[in-house]
Amino acid sequence: MIPRFWNKVFLIYRKDLKDEIQTFGQLIGTLVFGVMLVFIFSYALQLVNLEVSRVFPAALWVSVYFSASLILQRAFSKEAEEGTLDALLLASGDRGILFLAKFFCSLSILLIFEIVVVPLMWAFMGVSGQNLQLGYFAMSLFLGSWGLAAIGTLLNGMTVQLPGSRLLFPLLLFPLLIPLLMGAILTSQGALLGEVQSVMGWFYLLLMFDLTFTVVPLLLFDYVLEG
Amino acid sequence: MVKADALVVRGLHKQIGGRTILKGVSFEATTGDLVMITGPNGAGKTTLLRILACLLPKSAGEVLWNGTPYGLEHGAIGYISHKPMLYESLSVYDNLQFFGRMYGASSKEFEQELLTLVGLWRYRYEPAAVLSRGMKQRLAIARMLISRPRMILYDEPFTSLDQEGQDLLKGLLEKERLKTIQLIVTHEPRLLSGLEYKELRLQGGRIEQGESYDT
């Protein structure tokens, strides 16, 4: 039973990731959008006299948030547009499978996006990184992205069958993400400045937030996708 | 000998918003039955099929499979609508293989057999996006059959099919009769001529006529 569950999660995940790579344009479009945000931030911050290391995490997460709102919207919208959601529901047999597969796919794309954008942003903004605690910095990126992917997948599933879902999604996403974004910015800043001990509580909060928004939707997704 | 299954629908109600779509629909079907559901637009035909397929929750009533309620975990419901429900970026073969693996019923021989049956074997490497509407519907038939369903729900399946496709589907309705319960929503009963079927006529969410046999 359990191997079958995970096998189905993997099959949908692989299909979605393959589709994202094949429809290269959308992924590239999101990356270009993210890079443009990097340019805008680095240009704007050169005009004001601010300590880059303190501003960098906020600029980074604003870029990630805007790009993520494009990435996360695709999880279920594409299935709904192609009319494949019903076939997929029948074949999966458990809506939790769909949630996990879409969540893992969104998380993977977000992480690919960050692998490209974070070093670019780092270089353009001239961050010194003298006191950087790399492991914690990577953990803050991962936990923040996990939460973004989990909430985005849940919300996309909730709104995909509603009229005006493309407008509703970003409107509902932001208020839900406020605690997550606060935690992600503060933990990234702590790791960048070598002050991890002072933000340890935020790391735990991020972890709890991520676990909650992964486990609860997994259990309740039957109701979320009911038309 | 194929085990006979029984579908029992009792007092099925469905409300969407403030509107009652189904008002106490009851009927029974067993393996071998071909049930044609007819009725004017808005009578609740598609809603009934979607509830039976577990794609829509019911508001009240009972839907039983061999005496017990069922959900998506049923795993043996085939569903075809007027939309082909295919991945446009995947090839014909990859579409079939993906759903076959999801149902755990995939084998190369079976996939080849199904694509040959629906006349798409030579198009197997083409992306679904380039297929005509009728060819997509044929692929949808193969996708539905790969789950080896014990209940098949057809919602306007003849849409977009040419004469050859319609003959293929009619042949399938007869062939699958031995193994499945089949319910078909159609506005074109003439396309079922020559087949033995029960008719359920829905009108305003109620069964107006039912359980009659026609050929």
Which has more confidence, B200 or A162?
Answer: B200
What is the count of structural domains for chain A?
1
- Kindly report, residue by residue over A16-63, the tens digit of the pLDDT: 998 888 777 778 888 888 888 888 888 887 788 778 888 889 999 999
Does the distance separating the beta carbons of A93 and B72 come in below 8 Å? yes
Q: Could you tell me which residues come within 8 angstroms of residue B94 by beta carbon, excluding any fewer than 6 positions away?
A: B87
**Listed range (A97-106, A150-159, B160-169) with the worst mean pLDDT:** B160-169
The β-bridge partners of B7 are B29, B65
CA pair distance A104, B165, nearest whole angstrom:
39
How confident is the model at residue B212, as a pLDDT?
43
* pLDDT < 70 regions, chain B: 1-2, 210-215
Q: Outline where chain A has alpha helix (H).
A: 2-22, 24-47, 52-72, 74-82, 85-92, 95-125, 134-159, 165-193, 200-224
Q: Which of B58, B87, B151, B153 to mutate to test the interface with A (most CBs of A within 10 A)?
A: B87
* Chain B residues in contact with A92 (beta carbon < 8 A): 72, 102
Query: Given CB atoms, is A94 within the 8 Å cutoff of chain B?
Result: yes
ipTM summary value: 0.88
Query: Given CB atoms, is A53 within the 8 Å cutoff of chain B?
Result: no
CB A159 within 8 A of CB A168: yes
Query: pLDDT category, A3, cuts 50, 70, 90?
Result: low
How confident is the model at residue A1, as a pLDDT?
56
How confident is the model at residue B192, as a pLDDT?
85
- Angstroms from B144 CA to nearest CA on chain A: 9
How confident is the model at residue A130, as a pLDDT?
85
| Mean pLDDT for the stretch of residues A97-124 | 92
What is the count of structural domains for chain B?
1
How confident is the model at residue B215, as a pLDDT?
44
Q: Report how far Cα A107 is from the mean position of its chain's Cα atoms.
A: 6
Out of A22, A23, A87, the one facing B85 most closely (by C-beta) is A87
**Parallel, antiparallel, or unpaired for β B181-185 and B197-203?**
unpaired
Terminal Cα distance for chain B, rounded: 25
Query: pLDDT category, A227, cuts 50, 70, 90?
Result: low
- Angstroms from B214 CA to nearest CA on chain A: 31
Which residue is listed with tokens 């911050």?
A45
Out of A11, A83, A226, the one facing B98 most closely (by C-beta) is A11
CB B88 within 8 A of CB A19: no
Instruction: Note down the domain range covering A217.
Output: 2-224
How confident is the model at residue B213, as a pLDDT?
45
Instruction: Note down the domain range covering B195.
Output: 1-73+183-215
**Parallel, antiparallel, or unpaired for β B60-65 and B34-38?**
unpaired
**DSSP class per residue in A70-87:** HHHTHHHHHHHHHT-HHH
How confident is the model at residue A107, as a pLDDT?
95
Which has more confidence, B209 or A218?
Answer: A218
Residue B198, domain CATH: 3.40.50.300
Predicted confidence (pLDDT) at residue A69 exceeds the cutoff of 50:
yes
Does the distance separating the beta carbons of A15 and B87 come in below 8 Å? yes
Q: How many CA atoms lie within 13 A of B46 on its CB side?
A: 11
How confident is the model at residue B145, as a pLDDT?
93
Q: How many CA atoms lie within 13 A of A205 on its CB side?
A: 15
- Kindly report, residue by residue over A117-140, the tens digit of the pLDDT: 899 888 888 888 888 899 999 999
- DSSP 3-state percent helix, strand, coil across chain B (nearest 5): 30, 30, 35
What's the one-letter identity of residue B171?
G
| Mean pLDDT for the stretch of residues A190-218 | 94
Closest alpha carbon within chain B to A5: B102
What's the one-letter identity of residue A171?
L
**Listed range (A157-171, A180-194, B48-62) with the worst mean pLDDT:** A157-171
Which has more confidence, A1 or B156?
Answer: B156
Is B37 part of a structural domain of the chain?
yes
* Chain A residues in contact with B57 (beta carbon < 8 A): 226-227
* Chain B residues in contact with A19 (beta carbon < 8 A): 87, 89-90
* Chain A residues in contact with B85 (beta carbon < 8 A): 82-84, 86-87
